A and B are shown apart, each in its own frame.
Chain A
Amino acid sequence: MSELHRTVLYDRHVAGGGKIVDFAGWEMPLQYAGGIVSEHLATRKGAGLFDVSHMGRFVFGGSGATRFLQHVLTNNAEALEAGQAQYTMIPNPGGGAVDDAYLYRFVEDEYVLVVNAANRQKDWDHFAEHLAEFDDVEMSDKSEELAMISLQGPLAGKILTGVIDSGALPEPMRNELGAVVINGIEVRLARTGYTGEPICFELFVESASAPAIWDMLIERGAEPVGLGARDTLRLEAAMPLYGHELGLDPDGKEIPVFSCPLAKFAVSFSPLKGDFIGKDALAKQHEAFKKILAEDYSLIADLPRRIVPVAVAGKGVARPPAGAFVGEKQVGFVTSGTVVPYWQAEGEGLSSRITDEKAMRSVCLAMLDSDLREGDPIEIEIRGKRTEAVIVPFHLRSEAPPFARPILHDHALISHKGQPLKDGAKKARELLEKTLENTIWRQTECINLIPSEQTLSPMARMLSIMDPAFRYAEHKPLKAFYEADVFYYQATDFIEQVEFLLEDELRKFLGFTEVETRAVSGQMANAIVFSAMVDYINRADRKVQPRRLGCVMNNHIIKGGHLSSQPMGAMRDFVAHDPRTEKPAIVNFPVLPENPYKIDVPACRELLGRYRPELIIFGKSVVLHPEPVAEIRAFVDSLGIDTVIMYDMAHVLGLIGPHFQEPFADEADIVTGSTHKTFFGTQRGIVASNYAEADERYNLTEAIRRRTFPGSVSNHHLGTLVGLLMAAYEMNHFKDEYQRKVIANAKAFAAALKRCGMDVAGDADVGYTQTHQVIVHVGYSRGVEMAGKLEDNNIIVNYQAAPNEEGFTAAGAIRLGVSEMTRFGMGEGDFETVAQLIADVVNNDKSVKAEVKSFRDGFTDLKFCFAGEEFDGIMEKLHALI
């Protein structure tokens, strides 16, 4: 028997009480003193520390490296930018897996491929065999000189941050890479792992330095985890293990790669890959896979079985290769299975909490006939007896960081109880009473600090529910009538006039030549522009499938961008897929390291030149500073890029002017916005554009009109259109004082919060904010809890994920806006009082509900609107008509 290998951390495993076993020729810890169950649970609630140095690490360099990797791996290596990683398969010609692997591109000119310990030699030989067909590829085995440590779990980020000398964690998304210095040594970091934990890191460090870093992480609270829990964690996350879900099945038959659900992401048929090993076989599997998903089993012979998560409902533990049955028919077998522990949760939804109660559940992965579906009951034969089981979509979900959430097959669905059948009039009365209660609470007892919200003036409110609210007034201009608008209904003169006046008021307010007012929300306004852009860029080519926008530049959602300009939001159907990255062709504004709320303008120049975006979208929902529209306009002009600059001013529409920013002066082409955040209006959206009629781009303005009606709205909610006209009158009349006060209040509020000991985001040199918003950090993943506590005290804010946080469930900030309370008359001194009340709740856990209520009592009359005796009579007449 050949000598067993030891990793550089072997002594640590022995000293830590590790039960050492032979794993693929390596002496590795199966578990430590606490045992598998305890290590599994520690990873799910704290942070597990894994020595994964036994895995193979191959480094590829040379100008031919990418081409080589495209040939021997299934994923699209060229899609990786420096700083990104991807899961991939090492295919064989028959469409099976030689191994599965992870490809890391830490730096431009080098790839690191991590392969399974058991397959290291086999993989190396396989690559070596194909290397001869490629020029200028350097392949080296760095498994010995480079150690690899994995740190996984909700506290992983905090622990890691605690040991870093310099540098920052990678961007808070899976597969992002970075480098930091720990203990004086450079450590490469990857947001990857094999546990299903949303907060996950793998560390690559020269071997000699690994033991000291291992010790530091343990000292900070990481718990060492052996191979036993590594297996139960990956099983719960339904991740495949070579030899079980990949490779050969128990009968020695090749498992097709597409049997694994992750193959969808790990196999690319990008033309950039050219011909790669196993391509034909994989393409065949892929065709079958697509049909099977559509419940068409005509190609099932090409993919007879798929690996799915199965929950064991009856007694027993389903271990491989136990048979799976439906009736008397064997439909497959278990590939991996055991009993896994989990922390029980209490409560529902966002407020559900992980408790200290443990429980166990019997789960497995099984290779089952492809015509079985989620929810199908099956039986598993355990020692000659059948036990009930069910196919489930997953065992665990990772989308609510910082915790991975166990999903139980028998969890009762949240039920929204309908009302018992009762008297209709009684229900009506109840609704009226509830509305009264809610309106009194929000209008007179709460301090409303949601920056997206605004209370309407009594006049705007009254006008919104008068007669036009029940009418139709669709219209469109016809060139046959020299652009005269044609209305499709009668008795529309009044609303036609309102719309004309509204456009006129908004043109004056924005300084733009054209304003489209029929969008009924800000998100719709953005979607109208995207749709119009697609219409416009295809104007010369009407007989073919319209092409989508080639590249769009915007603010990333985690850097404050609004979801309406994200591919997961309104942008989805309008932006092309980048053939290289196989993702939506979106490039994000880089941000300043010292202030992630600000765009890094100089860094944009290179990106603009490289990507030449067809559409540039400024604006965000976390907005502390003006956007660098003029600077980017100058770059665009000097680089000669044919692009449209759009500024989504939803949050800051009511601040347009000399106190904040003037998009007209900054030469934005298009401004969109919702009309009810800093603006005074009803809840609607607008699109403004600034092209002269003689300009070729005026075609875009016309496209915006068409994509509004009939593209996006049929009737356009005429009641709130009248209300918006009143709001526009108010804005144009009162804007100078209102805007000045909003910004002064926000700065005073930020400064006061800071004085109260709170962690205020933004640039201190400009008073933290130049808008109506203030961002306060309340502690990683405490945002939801703090926003809830403030609501209990009648202070209404929203929780907000900061730019370095993984998602809204991990939000560590709250977002505050001063516009609504400014409109109710609060001044700088009042916001200092509010700052103290917030600090009392957040920092001192005090109850201030009564103080908040009595404080708000002094601010119930809306300012910056028309009032007085001259209006009383007509307002009464209008009210009497309701």
Chain B
Amino acid sequence: MVPAELRYTKSHEWAKMDGGRVTVGITAFAAEQLGDVVFLELPAVGESVEAETPFGVVESVKAAVDLNCPVSGEVIEVNEDLTANLELLGKDSYSSAWMIKIKTADDADFQNLMSAEEYEKFLEEEGSH
């Protein structure tokens, strides 16, 4: 079960809206697929990010994977603790393993994201391949 209050992308990021500020992370499914994460590259505070474009990279032993931004806006906070504690990504994906917080101008991008129900269905379809 994925948290009901969050929204999701097809590339397995989650987003949480909190009055014009969007917190972003990756889902537990994504963390499990990656396996041992060995490196995380996140943008700096103040950088602009755009919906459906990469905002960072997460690397496992096997591969480097782009992190796609769920919404457009400006990065206002970066989780520095996470880069030193990468194992949090698999253990606490939806809470302490948040990656960045973004200030958005409107919530149109956010409304386009999948709901928890839709994301679960999406995962099922992905899994059946």
Contact = CB atoms under 8 A, between A and B. Distances in A.
Given A339-B39, A360-B38, 16 more contacts: A36-B60, A36-B62, A37-B36, A37-B38, A37-B61, A38-B36, A228-B62, A315-B39, A317-B59, A317-B64, A319-B63, A319-B64, A339-B38, A339-B59, A362-B39, A383-B57
Contacts of A319: 63-64
B43 interface: no
A317 B39 contact: yes
Interface of B: 35-36, 38-39, 41, 57, 59-64
Contacts of B59: 317, 339
A36 B34 CA distance: 11
Q: Determine the main DSSP class of A at the interface with B.
A: mixed
Nearest to B35: A35
Contact of B38 (A30, A31, A228, A317): A317
A579 B41 CA distance: 56
B37 to A, nearest CB: 10
B10 to A, nearest CB: 21
A31 B63 CA distance: 14
A232 interface: yes
Contacts of B62: 30, 36, 228, 338
B46 to A, nearest CB: 18
8 contacts: A31-B35, A315-B39, A316-B39, A316-B41, A317-B64, A360-B38, A362-B38, A362-B39
A36 B33 CA distance: 12
Interface in A342-378: 360, 362
A383 to B, nearest CB: 7
Nearest to B61: A36
Nearest to B66: A383
Contacts of B64: 317, 319
A36 B57 contact: no
A82 B80 CA distance: 60
Contacts of A383: 41, 57
Contacts of B60: 36
A232 B61 CA distance: 8
Nearest to B60: A36
A233 to B, nearest CB: 11
Contacts of B38: 37, 317, 338-339, 360, 362
Interface of A: 30-31, 35-38, 228, 232, 315-317, 319, 338-341, 360, 362, 383
Contacts of A31: 35
A338 B57 contact: no
Contacts of B57: 383
Given A228-B62, A232-B61, A383-B57, A35 B39 contact: no
A637 B35 CA distance: 69
A229 B41 CA distance: 23
A340 B63 CA distance: 13
Contacts of B63: 319
Select the residue from B38, B61, B62 with max chain A CB neighbours within 10 A.
B61
A360 B62 CA distance: 14
Contacts of A35: 35-36
Contacts of A340: 61
A360 B59 CA distance: 13
B68 to A, nearest CB: 15
B83 to A, nearest CB: 10
A340 B61 CA distance: 7
B96 to A, nearest CB: 21
Minimum-distance CB pairs A-B, first 7: A339-B38, A37-B36, A36-B61, A35-B35, A317-B59, A35-B36, A317-B39
Contacts of A315: 39
A38, A315, A319, A339: most-surrounded residue (chain B CB, <10 A): A339
Contacts of A36: 35-36, 60-62
B39 A228 contact: no
Nearest to B33: A19
Contacts of A341: 36
A316 B58 CA distance: 10
A65 to B, nearest CB: 40
B116 to A, nearest CB: 26
A35 to B, nearest CB: 5
A565 B39 CA distance: 52
Nearest to B38: A339
Contacts of A362: 38-39
A218 to B, nearest CB: 21
Contacts of A317: 38-39, 59, 64
A100 to B, nearest CB: 23
A531 to B, nearest CB: 54
A145 to B, nearest CB: 32
Contacts of A338: 38, 61-62
Nearest to A319: B64
A827 B61 CA distance: 63
A220 to B, nearest CB: 26
A674 to B, nearest CB: 53
A339 B36 CA distance: 10
A317 B37 CA distance: 11
B35 to A, nearest CB: 5
B28 to A, nearest CB: 15
Nearest to A228: B62
A362 B39 CA distance: 10
A458 to B, nearest CB: 67
Contacts of B35: 31, 35-37, 228
B7 to A, nearest CB: 27
A474 to B, nearest CB: 66
A232 B63 CA distance: 12
Contacts of A30: 62
Give the residue among A36, A315, A341 with the most B Cβ atoms within 10 A: A36
A228 B63 CA distance: 11
A340 B36 CA distance: 10
B18 to A, nearest CB: 30
A400 B61 CA distance: 27
B52 to A, nearest CB: 18
Contacts of B39: 315-317, 339, 362
A36 B63 CA distance: 12
B129 to A, nearest CB: 13
A265 B59 CA distance: 35
Nearest to A232: B61
B65 to A, nearest CB: 12
A317 B59 CA distance: 8
A236 to B, nearest CB: 11
A507 B36 CA distance: 72
A383 B35 CA distance: 22
Nearest to B90: A35
A315 B40 CA distance: 10
Contacts of A38: 36
A319 B35 CA distance: 17
